[in-house]
Every structure is written in structure tokens, then in C-alpha cells.
Structure 1
Amino acid sequence: MREFSLPALYEVPADGNLTDIVRRNAVRHPDVAVLGRKVDGGWQDVTARVFQNEVRAAAKGLIASGVRAGDRVALMSRTRYEWTLLDFAIWSAGAVTVPVYETSSAEQVQWILEDSGAVACLVETDTHAAVLDSLRERLPDLARVWQIDRDGVAELGRAGADLSDEAVEERSSVAGADDPATLVYTSGTTGRPKGCVLTHRSFFAECGNVVERLKPLFRTGECSVLLFLPVAHVFGRLVEVAALMAPIKLGHAPDVKNLTDELASFRPTLILGVPRVFEKVYNAARAKARADGKGRIFDRAADTAIAYSRALDTPAGPSLGLRIRHRVLDKLVYGKLRAVLGGRGEYAISGGAPLGERLGHFFRGIGFTVLEGYGLTESCAATAFNPWDRQKIGTVGQPLPGSVVRIADDGEVLLHGEHLFARYWNNEAATAEALADAWFHTGDIGTLDEDGYLAITGRKKEIIVTAGGKNVAPAVMEDRVRAHALVAECMVVGDGRPFVGALITLDGEFLGRWAEEHGKPADATPASLREDPELLAEIQRAVDDGNAAVSKAESVRKFRVLAAEFTEDSGHLTPSLKLKRNVVAKDYAGDIEALYHG
């Protein structure tokens, strides 16, 4: 058993709640732009004083409409300014926010609102409103619904117009540090989602220590962050609260399809995302370079960036020749890549899945350092992350200051600290199992090095045991294969089987480019190309690269390309883009059998 901890850098308030952040900003930084709001295609600054007034007005409407202290209020919307406004308004009304993914099915919405006992819901679109309408008879506790796109925020303002500021101040001070701030329902890779009760203390401990440890990334008046993750996800919530706690300017981007344009217009200094975002940036740049006849230059630049980054970790540092080559390529290639990311940023924080060592070195080598972290809903997002000044690529960093990471005898990662969730809502049995002996049992397998840097090697429940008795952690293989531009997802299989296999889906965006380059039909699809010899040879190269990272017994001997991508809509990915392995295994049982008996 091994454990590591760092002293807390932020003193969690003995009492109080997250609404204190809004009041403090309005007093200390009244004229500082703490948010950016998209208006008619352009960004409009929102000062701390204006934000406080808007939060207060919406909170008045909630109170006047019958929302009481401790009530649960659901919020179902894409990532947009109003999400953050209403989140703090719900807290200012003394209530508890229940985030709902805007892509959730009617069945999922019903379960979350029913289990949480939500008395009100704020939705974004007509589609969301229609889902609620279809469920009203099955949700007797749900008394009120407002729609953002139907002037819902203004409606709240009118409803509370006669309420005094003092009434809001009184209500907003009701919740204490150990009271629930939010119920975040797990994505539900297996079974029904569980509601994680995250307290105001959880967020103070989490966000306060993140901001303090990454201080240069959170300079008030200088730094900014564009939030494009779902705010219904706990990682998005970390971004929201930490940005306002610092404070730095926070912008929202609801549609990742236009992410490049949003980054160019907002020009953030800090980006927080999942590895797939950074994989897409790399693959898109490489594909464009190849289409423009500059593929060899890009590949040389990528190799140079990776070599330069690796040399930074050596005592001697980059050689003179490498530094000169790097400086030349910075003007030709790296500066253009940084411009795609907004042009001002030097750092990003990545979580949700492993980034991959090669990609980590590539981005650091171009002058845009991606700090990898690790966390869960139950740990209020990041429970470990790489510090800005002591990064170890290939790890998820050191523990959150003020918390402890322990590796149990069986390799499971255990956590302890004030940032952890309090319990699962209405689920004592699951709470007792997860929080045994005052330690949260993550279900992840990992190691700690001598400096306290954590590496995650797999999931306990995802360990594959082949017929030969070999234990296989699929994450390493999957991450390497997925790094290929043509691969959208890779799922390793082989439990109880004679060898390890893989199901692979194709990235629709890059498949078209590949097809054009290789003389395939313009209307080619994954279904039409899944047996194409040239495509299979390309995928085999990705598998070979993955096999190079594992032992022979863990290597993929056969793979099968599927006719469609795994998506959230298809039910095979969670909203945070994690594989629902049990669902994939069930729906593609025939393809798995074909690997072994085809």
C-alpha cells in the first residue's frame, strides 16, 4: 500500500456557500469582466456587478415562484451564459441544482427528476420543453418549468420584481458549507445513474486548491477560459466555479462544431477539454497539411516538437541543433497551430480519459502545454493534476492539495479529502460500498511514483482475463489505436477468450478525406469501406502501433471495423464520451463472435 498527499493551499471556509463568490467579486472587482456573453455574434463583457444583479433578479423569480430552501431545481441546457447565471441563481434561492444533459432521453430525464424530487426545471429549447410536457403526469413534484429560449430568464425577473434584495440575501445565506450544492447524476455506464451529492464545501476545496496550485493560469484581469464542455458534467462545473472564484473571464461555447471559430473570436488563455478535442486538433492539422501538399513538413515539425519536449525533461535540455530547428518550425508551423487554439493560450487542462504520451509531448513542443488530470464525479472533478511548473507527461499528476491518494494492495486508487461527495442521493447501500473505511474506492487501477505522480492503468471492472489467464487492462491499447486519425473509437475485447481482439469504429470526418486521397467513391461510408483492403491495412498500422506498447499476450491479434460510429445518441457513449462497454458488447455480440469464429 502506498499513499501521497500535499498540504492544502486554500483554506475552506468554515461555513458559507458558493453565492459568497458572486458577492465577493461584486465588492472587490465590480468593474472587472468576469464573463463574456455572446450577443449578435459578438462577445459582450459582463462585469462582476452586472452579473450579481442578474443572478439576484433570477433568484427573486425562483423564490417568488415557490422554490424553497433545500428544494431541488433541474437545469437542462447546452453550455451557454444562462447556464452559469441560473446555476448561481438557484444557489442564491437556497436551492440545489440538478444538472440534466440536454441530450438526455425522456426516460433518463424522468429518472433524474423523479429520484431527485425536483420541484422545478429550467430547460433551453422547444425539444426539451416537449420532453418535460410528456412527463408531467409522472412527475407530481414538478410544479414549474421555464424555457430559456422562450424568454424564461426575463420571466423570472418579472415574477420576482416585487421581492427585495434583502429577501434574496437572507435566502442565499441559508445553505451552509456542508449542505448540498448540486446532485450530479453519474453518466450510467452500467445500471441507473446515481446522484452524487456534492456540497458547497466540496466545490470550495476543489476549486480553491486548483486555482491556488495553478495560479499563473488564473490571473484576474489577464486570463480567460472558454467553456465548451457540457456544464451538466462535473468537469464543466469545475471550470465554471473556478473561473468565478479566481476570477477570470469565462465564456461559453454551446456547439463544438464551431469550436475553432469560437476560440478565434474569444481568444482564451486557458482551455479545458477532453483528449478527443486535442486529438481532433492534431489530426485536422495533419490532414490539412497533407491535402495542401505539406504533409512531410508537418510530420517533420511534429517529430521535432515531440523530440524538443522530451529533451526538456533531460538534464542537458534540447541540443543547439534541436533548438534552432524548433525555432524555424515555430514560425512555419507551430504559430499557426497555436492560432487555431485562439492564439493567446499557453496551457490547457485535459481530463476524462488518458491523453497519450505522444500527444502530450507534441502539444508541449509547439508551445501549448496540456496538463493532464484525473477525477470522477464523486471527487468533484479533478482529484489529481499536473502542476504547471512540474509536469510529468504520461501521468495524471499529483493529488489535489489538501487531499490524499492511496494505492490499495490490489492496485485500486483510493481517495480522501474535503472535495469528495457526501453520499449518493437515496442510495445508502451504494454509499456504504463506495465510501468504505472513510476512503472513496474509485474502481480505477493505478500507481504512484516517488514524487507522488499518479498513473492510471485501467479499471478494476474492465480488466479482461483471457482464457489463458492473462490479465489485460484495455486502456493502453485503446488509447494508442484511437490516436490514429481514421479511428473514432476502439474497444478491446477478449474476456474468457483465447486471445485479445478489438472493435474499431471509423471517424466520419477523416474518412472522407482518406477516401478522396485513395481514390474511393465520394459517397463512401464506414459500412461500404469496412472490408476495403487499403483501409484495413491502414487500421492494421494503428493496431500495430498499439501492440508496440503492450506485451505479446496483451496485443490485439484480430480486429473488426464496424459499420457505424459509437455515439451518445446511439447509446454507446456517455455524455462525457466514455464507452458504455456493456451496451457495446450486447449490441455488437455478433461482431465479437465473428472475431473468434468468423
Structure 2
Amino acid sequence: MHAFELPPPAGTVMQGGLADSLFETARREPALAQVARRLDGPSGPWVSITAAELWDEVLDVARGLVASGIRPGNRVAIMARTRYEWTVLSYALWTVGAELVPIYPTSSHEQVAWILQDAACVAVVVEDEQGIMTVGSACASLPALRHVWQLDTGALSQLAERGRVIPPTTVDSLRRIVLPDSTAVIAYTSGTTGNPRGCALTHRSLASPVDTLLAGWRHTAAPPGEQPVILAFLPFSHVYGLMIQGLCLRGGILLGHEPDLSEESLSTALLSFRPTFLYAVPFVFEKIYKNFVRTAQQSGRGALFERAVQTAKDFAAAGERQRLGTGPGPGFDLRLQHALYEKTVYRKLRATLGGRVCGAVSGGSPLNRELALFYAGIGILVHDGYGLTETSGGITAQPVGRAKFGTVGQALPGTDIRVADDGEILVWGPSVFQGYINDEPATYASFQDGWLATGDIGRLDTERYLTITGRKKDIIITSGGKSVAPAALEERLRVHPLIHQAVIVGDNRPCVGALITLDPDFLAHWRGTWTKGETAAPRDAREENELREEVRRAVASANSTVSPTESIRVFRVLPEPFDLANGLLTPSMKLRRDAISQRFAAEIDAMYQTSSRLPREYTPNEPSVWDDSDNVFR
């Protein structure tokens, strides 16, 4: 038995709303650098804004909201990318007791109309002219909507000017009557099927996981004595993004905003802002790793990088065994190899992220264990956590000094988790939502004896570390009756540099299949590498054969982690990705499995028809098919 336990819950009893923490920080530490922003565009220098300056701007905008008729309990939507104005607006709304309704800026006209109508929003803040057009096309069905403000035309300045007639004491009085159990956010689930549902989250439920994480984990976000610095690039339209904002503003952490998620913009922002800690989703960590691989191969150091990667994983795995009391830790030779690669490889990798990142958190979906080991081995310990919209963000975390890779950690103090007989994860705790607005039956159905039924499948080990194995509704049942959770296989496939996305199929089919898309950047690099020195045309049969063999090896590698009856026997490479534009991803980047199955029904049928003509003897773990129609160069 190890003398270890998670830190206790945060001791401060919440008395008011989320805006109180910003007000208190401005009063207590007015000169604290709270936010950094680039005043001269993406290439401009970062300028720090103090807690007092931020509060002054929030107060001015809050006065403008009051002058515009926004009252406590009114709902106001924000449809914009992650940017400085988002933070000012959200805290201004909470200051006057209004309820925030986040909307993804990429949402369709139908989605925006549904959310604004369902939430009965009285105002909406959009980012640009495109947002104006989207909202304008739905205005006829929105009788409650009174204001549409546009950030790019100076909405904040206009509100501040309008609010000059409102005394600051009026706003302060409104702030003081906001209660912890007042609704702060109506967060709409992204909805893989049907209309999204609005989750009512209180000030207390949003603050609870944030305060617990700050109490137990804040010291890991920067070297001792330094102020933590976090670059927010995940959407504030998602509860994970709101949690990151809350961590910074409740914890005295310097917050920067990056609205552009393109690889080039994010890379530039990381290098210039130099965060000490990263909050991201698995896709970001996968993409960074693939870029490392591509850069190493392009420079002719691919073999060296592969050895460095394996050493990093071995080193991290040995350290994990030592921390958990199941092994002696890295041996002398491994420590020596690791020290060599630290000087020649690892510190260069960290430099591409700004050079100061000492740790990270991955959320949204489970992070592959092998990838977590790699990052830990190069000096960036990625804590994999778990949460959902209905729990106001995180409900598990890796204990400090006791991370167990491949799991999402243990329940946060004050929160409890159990697993039902059918494998569904049930949650109880202060961060659980109030319910779905306008949908009492769905709210009732989401609870079992007071416990929130998450819809996720998982297991708890003897030390109560939670492992997520998939979504309950995503379980595939083959015609032979075998139940398969697709998430682990998809996650394993995506680790391969060539593979961008993967969707496991097989419901009522004789075996498990996979729909695969290729990473365009790495594919271009692969083609350039393969054809180097070749005299034949780049699209000849030899290149096609080698590519299909490379994908086949990736599938076989994924199969090695599951039983033969769960392994992928057929696969098809698709010519287009799953993205928001074609409706195959939700705004939170989750797969719309039903839509994908419908869109590629012909390809799935052809894949299994080809499989039925193959000999029945095959090597375990070896996928079966790639026919001529899988030529991705056409």
C-alpha cells in the first residue's frame, strides 16, 4: 500500500459568482499580469494586461450591457473564436448575472437558429460579417433576439461608450446578488445525432473542478517561483476551453489567446508566447508528434529519431514502474542513452513548442499510451484527464507523481465515480449540471439513482484509476455476436504518421472493418521521400503498392493490441477527410458515425464484398484488403 492520496478539495467556500474572482484579484494584486494580447495582429508582440486593467474593461462592458437592457437571467450568445474579447465578454455577462450561451463559430445556419431559439437568447455577439449573415438569416424565427453585436467592428468599445451613463455601483450591486447556484452557462452538446441539448451549468459547478485542480496541481504548471503561462487555443465554445479560461483567471495564471488553429499560426504563437503548460486534445499531440517525425525524416535523421523515440518511451515506462512501486526505474545504460538524446534531440523538440513547456493536459478523448510515454520521455508529462459538458469539465486527473499512462487518472477530490454492470461510467459530484433546458425527460433519463450516466464505457482498476474504452452507443456488434469498442483501435491507427483519421465499422457484418483517411502533409512528404532518386513517374504501380503496404502495416500494428476476433480484417482508404465542412465531424471534432456510415455506405458494402471473395485462411492480425479503387492518388 502506498502512502499517497489526492489533495483535498479546495477549502474556500464559494459565496458569489465567477466574476468575483476577477474582482478580488484586481483588488488584491492589481499589477498582476493576467492576460496577454497581440495588439498589432498575429505577428505583433505580446502585451500584458494587468488584473486591474482587465477588470476595468470588464466593468465598462458590463455597464454597456446594462444600458442595453441586459438583465440578470437573460441569455446572451457568443459566437466567436478564442480571443481576448471572449474573456472580457464572458466575465462582463457574469458580472451582471446574465447567462452565457457559447456557439461554435463554424456552426451552420440551422444549428445557430436552433440554439438561439431554444435558449431564447436576447442578444448574440458574433465575430465578423459571416457571423452577421448567419444570424441574420435566422432572425425571423427569433422574436426574443434584440441585439446583434460584431466584434470586428468594435462591439466592446461601443458597449463601453453606451455604458457611460450607468454608475459603476449599479454593476457592483448586480455582481453581489449573483449566487453560486445561479446558472452561468448554457452549453450545448455538439450532438452526433439530432439537435444539440443545452446543459445548464452553475457558477459553482464551473468553479468546482477549476478550484480543485488549482489546489492540487497548479504548482506543476511552471518551474518553482515562476508564474504559469498558458496559451488558450481550444474553443471557448466548448466547456474544456471555458475550464482553461477559468483556471487562468481564478489561479493568477497568465492567459494568452490564439484564435487560428492552423498549424502555422499555432506554431508561431507557441514560439512567441512561450507557454509553460499546454492544454490540448489528443489530435494536437498526435499532430505535433507527426511533425517531429516528418521533420526528422526530411533532415535525414529519421533513424536517429526512431531510436530517440524508443529510448524516450522506455525511459518513461521505467520511471512509471518506479513511481507505482512495480519496478526499480531506469537502469544505468538507459539513463545514459536518455541523457545523450536529451542533448541532441529532446531539448530541440521542446524548443519547437517555445522551450518552456514543462507539462500538459490532454482532454476530450483518451490519449494513446504510447504517445503519452513518448512525451513524458522527452520531458513533457502529459496528464490525461476526463470530463464532459454535463460535468462542467474535468472530473478526473492524474495524481501528482503517480501518473499511470493509458488511464485518465482518478476522480477529483469531492467527486465520485463508479462503473455500472454494463460498463457505463456513472459520476456524482459538485460539478454535475443542473439539467437540460426545455427537456425534462432527457434530464431525468440521464440520471440513475442520483448518479449521472455519462454514456461512456470504462473500467476502474484496484487503485481506482479510470480507463475509458469507448462510448456506449458506439459499441459495434458483429454478425457473430462479438462486441467491439472502436475507440482503442481508432486511437492506435491515428498514431501512425500517414493516418489522419479512422472509423471502425462492422455492425451486423462478419468482421471488423476500418475507413481510413491519410494525413495530407505526411503523405506529400512520404511521396517525396519514396520517389527520391526514382526515374519512374511518382504515381506508378510501385509507389501505390508500397503505400498500401505501409497502411497495411499500420493496421496490423493496431490489431496487435486486440484479440483476433476484434481485429480489423478489411479496410478502405477514403479520398476525402471527415471534417466540419462535409458534416462528418461535430464542432467539438467528434466523429458523426451515423453520417459517416451513410455517406460511405457504398464503400463499406464494396469492402465487405471484396472480403467475402478472399480465402478464409489468413495470418492473425493481418488485414485483408485494398483493391484498385483504393488508389488515393486519383
Instruction: Indicate whether the TM-score tops 0.5.
Output: yes
Task: State the SS of the aligned residue for 1:112.
Answer: helix
Q: 1:96-130 CA deviation, whole Å, 9 max, x = no partner?
A: 00000010111100001000000001111111111
Q: Which amino acid aligns with 2:429?
A: G
Q: 1:25-59 CA deviation, whole Å, 9 max, x = no partner?
A: 11121101011111111111010000100000011
> Displacement of 1:340 after TM fit?
1.2
* 1:242 aligned onto 2:254: no
> Displacement of 1:166 after TM fit?
0.3
Aligned to 1:517: 529
> Displacement of 1:521 after TM fit?
14
Aligned to 1:262: 269
Aligned to 2:99: 96
C-alpha distance in 2 between matches for 1:7 and 1:473: 33
- Pick from 415, 429, 439 the counterpart of residue 427 of structure 1: 439
1:350-389 equivalent positions in 2, closer than 5 A: 350-389=362-401
* 1:275 aligned onto 2:277: no
Q: Which amino acid aligns with 2:423?
A: G
> Displacement of 1:528 after TM fit?
11
> Displacement of 1:140 after TM fit?
1.0
Aligned to 1:310: 317
Residues 506 and 109 of structure 1: is their aligned pair in 2 closer, same or farther, counting only changes over 3 Å?
A: same
> Displacement of 1:519 after TM fit?
2.3
* 1:150 aligned onto 2:153: yes
Q: Which amino acid aligns with 1:287?
A: R
1:168-183 equivalent positions in 2, closer than 5 A: 168-183=171-186
> Displacement of 1:503 after TM fit?
0.5
1:272-351 equivalent positions in 2, closer than 5 A: 272-314=279-321, 315-351=327-363
Aligned to 2:631: none
Q: Which amino acid aligns with 1:422?
A: Q
Deviates most, 41-50 or 173-182: 173-182
Task: State the SS of the aligned residue for 1:584.
Answer: helix
Q: Which amino acid aligns with 1:349?
A: V
> Displacement of 1:595 after TM fit?
1.5
Indicate conservation of the 8 Å contact 1:94/1:173, yes or no.
no
Aligned to 2:474: 462
1:202-217 equivalent positions in 2, closer than 5 A: 202-217=205-220
Residues 210 and 529 of structure 1: is their aligned pair in 2 closer, same or farther, counting only changes over 3 Å?
A: farther
Deviates most, 5-14 or 459-468: 5-14
Aligned to 1:46: 49
Q: What TM-score does the superposition give when structure 1 sets the normalisation length?
A: 0.96
Task: State the SS of the aligned residue for 2:149.
Answer: strand
Indicate conservation of the 8 Å contact 1:96/1:183, yes or no.
yes
C-alpha distance in 2 between matches for 1:153 and 1:76: 14
Deviates most, 447-456 or 545-554: 447-456
Q: 1:500-519 CA deviation, whole Å, 9 max, x = no partner?
A: 10100111121111121222
Query: What's the % identity of the aligned pairs?
Result: 44
> Displacement of 1:331 after TM fit?
1.1
Q: 1:63-117 CA deviation, whole Å, 9 max, x = no partner?
A: 1001111000000101111111111011112100000001011110000100000
* 1:64 aligned onto 2:67: yes
> Displacement of 1:12 after TM fit?
5.8
- Pick from 556, 566, 572 the counterpart of residue 578 of structure 2: 566
C-alpha distance in 2 between matches for 1:280 and 1:317: 30
- Pick from 240, 248, 256 the counterpart of residue 251 of structure 1: 256
C-alpha distance in 2 between matches for 1:460 and 1:517: 42
> Displacement of 1:344 after TM fit?
0.7
Indicate conservation of the 8 Å contact 2:221/2:358, yes or no.
no
> Displacement of 1:218 after TM fit?
5.0
Aligned to 1:502: 514
Indicate conservation of the 8 Å contact 1:373/1:382, yes or no.
yes
1:480-559 equivalent positions in 2, closer than 5 A: 480-519=492-531, 532-559=544-571
Q: Which amino acid aligns with 2:84?
A: Y
Q: Which amino acid aligns with 2:514?
A: A
Task: State the SS of the aligned residue for 1:214.
Answer: helix
Aligned to 1:73: 76
Aligned to 1:597: 609
Moved over 6 A (4+): 527-531
> Displacement of 1:173 after TM fit?
2.2
C-alpha distance in 2 between matches for 1:392 and 1:236: 24
Indicate conservation of the 8 Å contact 2:530/2:543, yes or no.
no
Residues 529 and 433 of structure 1: is their aligned pair in 2 closer, same or farther, counting only changes over 3 Å?
A: farther
Indicate conservation of the 8 Å contact 1:70/1:94, yes or no.
yes
C-alpha distance in 2 between matches for 1:381 and 1:532: 44
Structure 2: 5+ residue stretches without partners: 322-326, 611-634
Aligned to 2:29: 29
> Displacement of 1:594 after TM fit?
1.1
> Displacement of 1:532 after TM fit?
2.9
C-alpha distance in 1 between matches for 2:421 and 2:499: 36
C-alpha distance in 1 between matches for 2:62 and 2:226: 27
Task: State the SS of the aligned residue for 1:382.
Answer: strand
> Displacement of 1:533 after TM fit?
2.2
**Which is bigger in relative contact order (C-alpha 8 A, separation at least 6)?**
1
Aligned to 2:9: 9
Task: State the SS of the aligned residue for 1:577.
Answer: coil
Indicate conservation of the 8 Å contact 1:415/1:441, yes or no.
yes
Indicate conservation of the 8 Å contact 1:60/1:161, yes or no.
yes
> Displacement of 1:151 after TM fit?
0.6
Task: State the SS of the aligned residue for 2:46.
Answer: strand
C-alpha distance in 2 between matches for 1:531 and 1:306: 31
C-alpha distance in 1 between matches for 2:261 and 2:199: 27
- Pick from 464, 467, 476 the counterpart of residue 452 of structure 1: 464
Q: Which amino acid aligns with 1:68?
A: R
Structure 1: 5+ residue stretches without partners: none
Residues 529 and 447 of structure 1: is their aligned pair in 2 closer, same or farther, counting only changes over 3 Å?
A: farther
Aligned to 1:19: 19
Q: 1:448-482 CA deviation, whole Å, 9 max, x = no partner?
A: 11211100111111111111111111111111111
C-alpha distance in 2 between matches for 1:581 and 1:531: 31
Indicate conservation of the 8 Å contact 1:530/1:536, yes or no.
no
Residues 351 and 521 of structure 1: is their aligned pair in 2 closer, same or farther, counting only changes over 3 Å?
A: farther
Indicate conservation of the 8 Å contact 2:489/2:558, yes or no.
yes
C-alpha distance in 2 between matches for 1:554 and 1:463: 12
Aligned to 2:324: none
C-alpha distance in 1 between matches for 2:543 and 2:473: 32
Indicate conservation of the 8 Å contact 1:79/1:252, yes or no.
yes
Indicate conservation of the 8 Å contact 1:376/1:382, yes or no.
yes
> Displacement of 1:559 after TM fit?
0.1
> Displacement of 1:342 after TM fit?
1.4
Indicate conservation of the 8 Å contact 2:209/2:412, yes or no.
yes
Q: Which amino acid aligns with 1:432?
A: Y
Residues 57 and 554 of structure 1: is their aligned pair in 2 closer, same or farther, counting only changes over 3 Å?
A: same
Q: Which amino acid aligns with 1:500?
A: V
Q: 1:262-307 CA deviation, whole Å, 9 max, x = no partner?
A: 0111111111000111111111111111111110111111011001
Task: State the SS of the aligned residue for 1:534.
Answer: helix
C-alpha distance in 2 between matches for 1:34 and 1:69: 27
